[in-house]
Structure 1
Amino acid sequence: MAKSVATKPTLDTRMLRNIALALLLSSSAGAVEASTPFWGDKESQARTIPASALQPGQFVWSPELAPAGPIVVVVSLNEQLAYAYRNGVLIGYTTISTGKKGHQTPTGVFTTLQKDKDHRSSIYNNAAMPYTQRLTWGGVALHAGGLPGYPSSHGCVHLPSVFAEKLFEVSPLGMTVVVADESSAPYEVSHPGALAPVHPVSGEQVEIPRLYTGEVYRWQPELATEGPISILLSTADRRVLVYRNGVEIGRTRMVFRDAHRPLGSHVYTVVGTQQPDAEGRMPEGYEPDWTAVSVPGLESEAGNKMKPEEVARVVLPPAFVAAATPYLAPGTTLMVTDAPILPSTTGVAMTVVDNAPPHDSSTEDGE
């Protein structure tokens, strides 16, 4: 009987095996990629179409209207729409889907804490959440997702896939996002949500020392050296809190004149094209140019400048103003509210009678 002889694979055989393996790997990668759903339209609607006329999944994206500058996103829960402003100009708007009953999307003022192009949920069966921009460490984010025409998410803000991608590409980490509805716009302030100081690695909240007796203000820009700045001003608490990328870098006491007359809720952003230097400071003599951002219930304010007579009602320590102003580069956002923002008073209606100058105050924050 003839003995069988094993033969070595020829070069051609090995090459064919490698090719087959490569094809197998590429098809597997394609299967993984295909497992990420696509939501919404593939192209923008004409910018002549009003936001109210958009159908679920439709959007408008016109970045050429403002090629550069800071970006602010406003999410309207009652309209199920989101608006993107760059340098104070509306460059895009889109249909969205927010939190359903029992998982409502929280209202407030947030800054993006994390960006992840290929994020997947660690809670909901590894569900795809492309172009995630995290708003809270508790699971609320902007990302591409389902758009049935009504609130359907577990708290996140779902966007059309193309819109989510385009917004992701132009948005800096630390971008301000205002989530509001007509009944709260934008009265509720997120605390200790995304604007609370967090550890950059663990994501856990970090306790910030309160202002003690005799301490008028604190200014520590070295705690966060990059990213847009967000400022919260509360007439109820007589405090101004300054954040950068979710980290508190300053706070101060303030005097609020004519306290019997509310200041109201407003959102402003600094516009312009000037850029800070390597240390994050603007040129000497710089004066920030503030303009209002439209939010639900305050649409008529869009583009308005701060009223001098209202600005004059807020008195801040001159040393704090001098220290902070050089850091208020384009992209800085100011949230003004008559609501409390300190943890000990959040959600509680308060009237604080305090007409003394900031340096005469002798109370603690009580945080």
Structure 2
Amino acid sequence: MRGRPKLGIWISLGAASLLLVTLAAKAFVPRHVQQASPAGRMIPAVSTERIRFSDGDQQQLRIGDGSTRVIRSLLRVPDHMQFGEFAWNDHGVPPGRIWLRIDLSRQILSVFRGEDEIATSVILYGQDETPTPIGNFPIRGLEKNHRSNTYDAMMPYTLWLTSDGIAIHGSNVRQGLATHGCIGVPQDFAQRLFGIVKRGDLVTVVR
């Protein structure tokens, strides 16, 4: 849905999505999101290697309830990600529980399997009048082909987060658009995400 443009978004190094709090208080270089084609497009990894952290250099990532989670590895992504772009690479990542982190200030969603990031995408989020809520939200349900009765709009690959209709779903992710509180992701990314999550998986939203 149309709303105020979300401009001046920055993405941190590695996860392209994370405000990391390190035990050594290391700094991460920000990256800027630029405008792109509204069509979703997966970008290749910069290299086959991941950004890995040793046991003595563990990274802690803050989540929606104020606590932190340990991160072992992050994706390498290009210096710039555009609206509609996403990265996905789970090669070599061990089995683990899927969880999602949404950083509204950076306009980024990150997907983790256990302690390793496997995907990241630029997102749309709620306009000022209908903001996206902050906190931890277990996925309440999944719906592949939902249509919003309120806004007469398709919401493909919907992951329900709240009882009043906030969800993650496929959208036309381009500069100048916002939502009525939902998280919009490129449809190709939404389809991939829909295939790996299940009811009860954690979605944490921070600003």
TM-score by length of 1: 0.37
2:161 and 2:201 map into 1 onto residues whose CA distance is 10
Other-structure match for 2:111: 84
Residues 87 and 120, structure 2, Cα contact 8 Å, conserved in 1: yes
User: How large is the Cα RMSD of the aligned pairs?
Assistant: 1.7
Alignment of 1:82-231 (within 5 A): 82-125=109-152, 127-149=153-175, 152-181=178-207
Alignment of 1:39-54 (within 5 A): 40-42=39-41, 44-48=42-46, 50=77, 53-54=80-81
Structure 1, gaps ≥5 residues long: 1-38, 182-367
2:97 and 2:189 map into 1 onto residues whose CA distance is 18
Alignment of 1:265-280 (within 5 A): none
Other-structure match for 2:87: 60
1:65 and 1:90 map into 2 onto residues whose CA distance is 11
Higher helix share: 1
Q: Give the residue type in structure 1 aligned to 2:205.
A: V
1:70 paired residue among 97, 102, 114: 97
Structure 2, gaps ≥5 residues long: 1-37, 47-75
Higher strand share: 2
Seen in structure 2, the aligned counterparts of structure 1 residues 40 and 58 have a Cα distance that, compared at 3 Å, is same
Other-structure match for 2:29: none
Seen in structure 2, the aligned counterparts of structure 1 residues 151 and 178 have a Cα distance that, compared at 3 Å, is farther
**Could you give the per-residue CA deviations for residues 270-309 of structure 1, whole angstroms, max 9, x where no partner exists?**
xxxxxxxxxxxxxxxxxxxxxxxxxxxxxxxxxxxxxxxx
2:95 and 2:149 map into 1 onto residues whose CA distance is 35
Q: Shift of the alpha carbon at 1:40?
A: 3.0
Residues 96 and 157, structure 1, Cα contact 8 Å, conserved in 2: yes
Q: Which has the higher contact order (CA 8 A, sep 6+)?
A: 2
1:106 and 1:148 map into 2 onto residues whose CA distance is 21
2:139 and 2:176 map into 1 onto residues whose CA distance is 24
Q: Shift of the alpha carbon at 1:51?
A: 6.9
Seen in structure 2, the aligned counterparts of structure 1 residues 68 and 149 have a Cα distance that, compared at 3 Å, is farther
Q: Shift of the alpha carbon at 1:46?
A: 1.4
Aligned residues: 141
Provide the identity percentage: 30
